[in-house]
Amino acid sequence: MESKKRHIVIIGGGFGGIATAKALKNTDADVTIIDRLNHHLFQPLLYQVATAELSPGDIAAPIRSIINKNPRIKVILGEVEKINPDKNTLQMRNGQIIPFDQLVMATGAQYNYFGHEEWAEYAPGMKSVSDALKVREKLLMSMEQAEGLDDSNKRKSLLTYVIIGGGPTGVEMAGAIAEVAGNGTKHGYRNIKPEEARIYLIEAGPRILNAFPESLGEKAKKMLEKMGVKVLLNTPVTNIEKNKVYLKVGSIETINIIWAAGIKASSLLDTLKVEQDRSGRVIVEPDLSIPQYPDIFIIGDSAHRVDKKGMPLPALAPVATQQGKFVGNLIAKEGKRKTNAKFVYTDKGTMATIGRAKAVADIRGLKFSGFFAWALWSFIHVLSLIGFRNRTRVFVEWIWNYFTYKRGVRLITDRSGCMHCTTYEKLHKELLEVHA
Amino acid sequence: MESKKRHIVIIGGGFGGIATAKALKNTDADVTIIDRLNHHLFQPLLYQVATAELSPGDIAAPIRSIINKNPRIKVILGEVEKINPDKNTLQMRNGQIIPFDQLVMATGAQYNYFGHEEWAEYAPGMKSVSDALKVREKLLMSMEQAEGLDDSNKRKSLLTYVIIGGGPTGVEMAGAIAEVAGNGTKHGYRNIKPEEARIYLIEAGPRILNAFPESLGEKAKKMLEKMGVKVLLNTPVTNIEKNKVYLKVGSIETINIIWAAGIKASSLLDTLKVEQDRSGRVIVEPDLSIPQYPDIFIIGDSAHRVDKKGMPLPALAPVATQQGKFVGNLIAKEGKRKTNAKFVYTDKGTMATIGRAKAVADIRGLKFSGFFAWALWSFIHVLSLIGFRNRTRVFVEWIWNYFTYKRGVRLITDRSGCMHCTTYEKLHKELLEVHA
């Protein structure tokens, strides 16, 4: 007697979801991946889209293309509204009910404004292509506006950049902005002197890159300062308005505010009604399933799992990828599932780039910085991209940028022709208002 | 006694404006280029952005970068509201008055809906990056929606594409869409069978590519038909609604409607109060200046100038480029201007690509089609792009596409996170409504 075909559902086409799908290539089950967007995004390089070095298409790939070789895997573009863990079903936003035998939630994270959701409008985070393009447009537009003003006092706040949060994203953004804004003349802005750009990296805690060894955090800080970035430690942000960031002491006037200060897990997890940590991550079992529901797994930024030292695993691509692979292998074959499987994270190292030929890396306890760390960072990131096409494009772009110092994708896209939005015109007006 | 420095203003950073600026590299005057956008766009390849083959950044370049070598040339990002030809000044939208000694208007054209402006919302044209992205999102989204529907009858109108206008843009769009929609399985759409895609190219006149020799138009039509495109000649469109195109006889149900049916010159020309033709182009003198105002020149799509046979020059990049060069050289040196200069267009040929290894070309009377025409088309277009970076990127992308049949930039960008717009969500809903 043959039973109905088993159905595995994966929510999310990020690092975790794609790794799970790949590990399921020889499964005996039907597999469905659901994502709100049609593409997988290589988030670690998203800051380079925001700073006009790469095109969105260079670091994204359609989910359908990635898993196309496997006829077992189906892709659905849509949003999941809630999970019903007792019935083994999930409900889509359009009302459709999808049953599953096993569910892998790789739903990622979003920026956490710690109860100040109103800040999101003035200080966008960077999680999607759309976020990055928004930051890019603001950045370029403020330089255009500054170029047009003869009074250097008026230019001041247009050329001020505040990045909130001293993790890898904040550090990489600050470095990249220092290179764009500090090289205005190279990009054809003749009125903008390099020394006019003021870039602040603001961190509430006592150090930047706190997931890295302390010496590397210190090194990164020195590198940033040498590039002209003002690094403010122990400086919590108390309020954000349209054109102002309020600190404990004083405030900074600018419309260029970027949020990189913390994340929280996807709110879809709340519908499971199980134990979550302060950031909304679900506390998972050693095999990454959730208590009482052995067929529901949570991986990546959505999962709270501790390492050997009792610290929660960081929200990084390698963690999500390894967890996806682990869960995929665990559930690939029906009836063959190990009962006491346990996920162990292999930390291959952490690295962050700070700018041109400048990076810090900690590879299994080996700490280094400078050109070699940067070359290694570049090499690993190019190799980690999905597909030959994206690898070639990013590689060519980086080589070109290295020799010319130019950033190729300095586009302010005209959204005024767009059906439902007038970002470009509004942005223009906003900037003019602020500087009226 | 030294007089005040002469000031040349160029409006528009398209082919004409950039060619003028380049010809002015040794001028004794100050030069200002004004554009509403910060980038020059290689419009002949815009349809490849709309069909997910190229990234916007591949065919656009910041105007500042292009003219950066010449310290005499200043770039202003902004919109000109009107010209005052009697006072030799122009007024910006923000109220600023800019005086000029010579003015070159390279203001281009926009789509002409022949009095039915309300059609623009349902049948976008393709003039800007934003237009092309809008078309791309609609195209990909309709395929995603179709993939999710099991009933092939419901899929029908989602997989129907109507391109209005049989000029080069319409022909190139129809061919490219046939390749995307007809190759659904290659792109991971498993439910979409190639024969389900219905692509209509609709032309009001008796033939397509009417600027080409008749035999090539006939050849192009046959090539398109072989690819599955239905070419309807002598078929004017009588009305367009959200999800329907009305023809003289019958109607076609779809939301995928693209307008490529005609252009009209920029409305800024109307402020000159001089003689214009039916498309709004200004009738210019042999030296491309306008009657009574010898210091105001009109070039490119905005100018009405006849060739030897008495036909107006076509709205093509080579015409704009040659005219820009001509005017730039004419006014470069003060006092040295020829009094009876006359612009003569050198027609180096016309070509249009229809699809993979398919194109038609007419080079100085030599007509050919097929692989060789396509290779030549590709070669000339890569060389015509501005800058090494764009050339390399487009070349690599084409080679990759040629061997893999894949389109790399199949991104539906999430604009729901966008400050002022929710295109993505609305598009989703719209499609669902239409197919509810």
Complex prediction ipTM: 0.80
- Comparing CB atoms, the residue among A389, A406, A414 nearest residue B37 is A414
Does the beta-carbon distance from A417 to B76 stay under 8 Å? no
- What is the location of CATH 3.50.50.100 in chain B? 117-261
Q: Are B348 and B321 in contact (CB under 8 A)?
A: no
The token pair that represents A22 in the structure block: 């790949």
Task: State whether A121 and B419 contact (CB < 8 Å).
Answer: yes
pLDDT score at A253:
93
Instruction: Identify which has the larger pLDDT, A384 or B278.
Output: B278
Question: In this model, does residue A190 exceed pLDDT 60?
Answer: yes
Count CA atoms within 13 Å of residue A34 on its CB side.
23
How many helices (H) does chain A have, and how many strands (E)?
A: 11, 25
Say if CB B155 and CB B149 are below 8 A apart: yes
B421 vs A416: CB contact, 8 Å cut-off?
no
Instruction: Give chain B positions within 8 Å (CB) of A148.
Output: 76-78
Nearest by CB: A411 against B60, B421, B424: B60
Strand B303-304 to A160-164 pairing:
unpaired
B425 pLDDT more than 50: no
pLDDT per residue over B215-262, tens digit each?
999 999 999 999 999 999 999 999 999 889 999 889 999 989 999 998
Between B270 and A429, residue with greater pLDDT: B270
CB–CB of B138/B423 below 8 Å?
Answer: no
Among the partner residues B55, B94, B148, nearest to A55 by beta-carbon distance: B55
- To test the contact with chain B by mutation, choose from A72, A180, A393 the residue with the greatest count of B C-beta atoms within 10 A, namely A393
Round to whole Å and give the CA distance between B402 and B393. 14
Taking one residue from A and the other from B, the number of pairs with CB-CB distance under 8 angstroms is 185
The catalytic position among A172, A179, A203, A397 is: A172
Contact A77 B388 (CB under 8 A): no
**Binning pLDDT at 50, 70 and 90, where does residue B3 land?**
low
**Cβ–Cβ under 8 Å, residues B361 and B350:** yes
Q: Which residues of A are less than 8 Å from B406 in CB distance?
A: 65, 389
Closest Cα to residue A339, out of A287, A288, A284, A299? A287
Taking phi over 0 as left and psi of -120 to 50 as alpha, with beta for the rest, B300 belongs to left
Question: Is the pLDDT at B427 greater than 70, yes or no?
Answer: no
How much is the pLDDT for B338? 76
Find the closest chain B residue to A125 by CA distance: B417
C-beta of residue B207 within 8 angstroms of C-beta of residue B219: no
Dump pLDDT digits (tens) for A352-367: 889 888 899 988 888 9
**CA separation for the pair A110, A92 (Å, rounded):** 20
Residue indicated by tokens 């989910």: A63
CA B93 to CA B82: how far, in whole Å? Answer: 8
From CA B199, how far away is CA B142, in angstroms rounded? 14
Q: Take residue B218 and report the two structure tokens written for it.
A: 């006939």
Interval A160-186 mean pLDDT: 89
A189 contacts in B (CB within 8 Å)? 64
Looking at residue A306, the DSSP 8-state letter turns out to be B
Does the distance separating the beta carbons of B421 and A415 come in below 8 Å? yes
Residues of A in contact with B158 (CB under 8 A): none
Distance from the A396 Cα atom to the nearest Cα atom in chain B, whole angstroms: 8
- A421 contacts in chain B (CB < 8 Å): 415, 418, 420-423
- CB contact under 8 Å between A68 and B419, yes or no, is no
pLDDT digits (tens, 9 = 90+) for B307-362: 888 889 988 899 999 999 999 999 998 777 777 899 999 988 888 889 888 899 98
Q: How confident is the model at residue A9 (pLDDT cuts 50, 70, 90)?
A: very high
**Facing residue for A188 by CB, picked from B68, B147, B392:** B68
- Structure tokens, B14: 């398209």
Cβ of A191: how many Cβ atoms within 10 Å? 16
Q: Which of B37, B121, B412 shows the shortest C-beta gap to A419?
A: B121
Domain spanning A7-111+263-331: CATH 3.50.50.60: yes
* Chain A residues in contact with B426 (beta carbon < 8 A): 419-420
pLDDT tops 70 at residue A414: no
Sheet hosting strand B97-99, strand order edge to edge: B80-84, B89-92, B97-99
pLDDT for B280 beyond 90: yes
User: Superfamily for A117-256?
Assistant: FAD/NAD(P)-binding domain (3.50.50.60)
- pLDDT of B19 reads 96
User: Is B429 a residue whose pLDDT tops 70?
Assistant: no
CA distances from B239 to B19, B279, B296 (A): 39, 21, 39
**Which chain A positions have a beta carbon within 8 Å of B424's beta carbon?**
130
Q: Is the pLDDT of residue A421 over 60?
A: no
- Span(s) in chain A for CATH 3.50.50.60: 7-111+263-331, 117-256
Q: How confident is the model at residue B415 (pLDDT cuts 50, 70, 90)?
A: very low
**B129–A410 C-beta distance less than 8 A:** no
Q: Say whether B413 and A62 touch across the interface (CB within 8 A).
A: no
> In the prediction, which pLDDT does B436 show?
34
**B101's tokens:** 């000694």
List, for residues B66-89, the tens digit of each pLDDT value.
Answer: 887 788 899 999 999 999 999 999
Best probe of the A interface among B393, B398, B407, B416, by most A CBs < 10 A, is: B393
A50-104 pLDDT tens trace: 998 888 888 988 898 888 778 889 999 999 999 999 999 999 998 999 999 999 9
Distance, in Å, from the CA atom of B387 to the CA atom of B380, rounded to the nearest integer, reads 14
CB contact under 8 A, A187 and B129: no
Section A175-201 average pLDDT: 85
pLDDT score of A340: 84
Based on the residue annotation, tell me whether A53 is a catalytic residue of this protein.
no
Mean pLDDT of A377-395: 82
Which of A129-133, B280-284, B308-312 reaches the highest mean pLDDT? B280-284
pLDDT (0 to 100) of residue B435: 39
With contact defined as beta carbons under 8 Å apart, do A106 and A327 qualify? no
Sheet holding B293-298, edge to edge: B73-77, B30-35, B7-11, B102-105, B293-298, B289-290
d(CA A178, CA A227): 7
Residue intervals of chain B classified under CATH 3.50.50.60 are 7-111+263-331
Residues of B that are catalytic: 172
Pick the CATH number of B117-261 from 3.50.50.100, 3.40.50.620, 3.10.310.30, 3.40.50.300: 3.50.50.100
**Contact between chains at A426 and B411 (C-beta distance less than 8 A):** no
| CB < 8 Å to A144, chain B | 38, 77
Best of B42, B136, B150, B420 to disrupt the A interface (most A CBs within 10 Å) is: B420
User: To which residue do tokens 């590198």 refer?
Assistant: A223
Residues of A in contact with B396 (CB under 8 A): 392-393, 396
Identify the residue among A187, A400, A418, A422 best suited for mutation to test binding to B, counting B beta carbons within 10 A and taking the highest: A418
User: Is A15 or B408 the better-scoring residue by pLDDT?
Assistant: A15
The CA distance from B410 to A131, in Å, is 18
For residue A266, the distance in angstroms to the closest alpha carbon of chain B comes to 15
pLDDT for B390 beyond 90: no
Check whether B423 has a pLDDT greater than 50: no
What is the rounded CA–CA span in Å between residue B209 and residue B350?
A: 10
Q: What is the pLDDT of residues B24-79, one digit of tens each?
A: 998 989 999 999 988 999 999 999 999 988 888 889 888 988 887 788 899 999 99
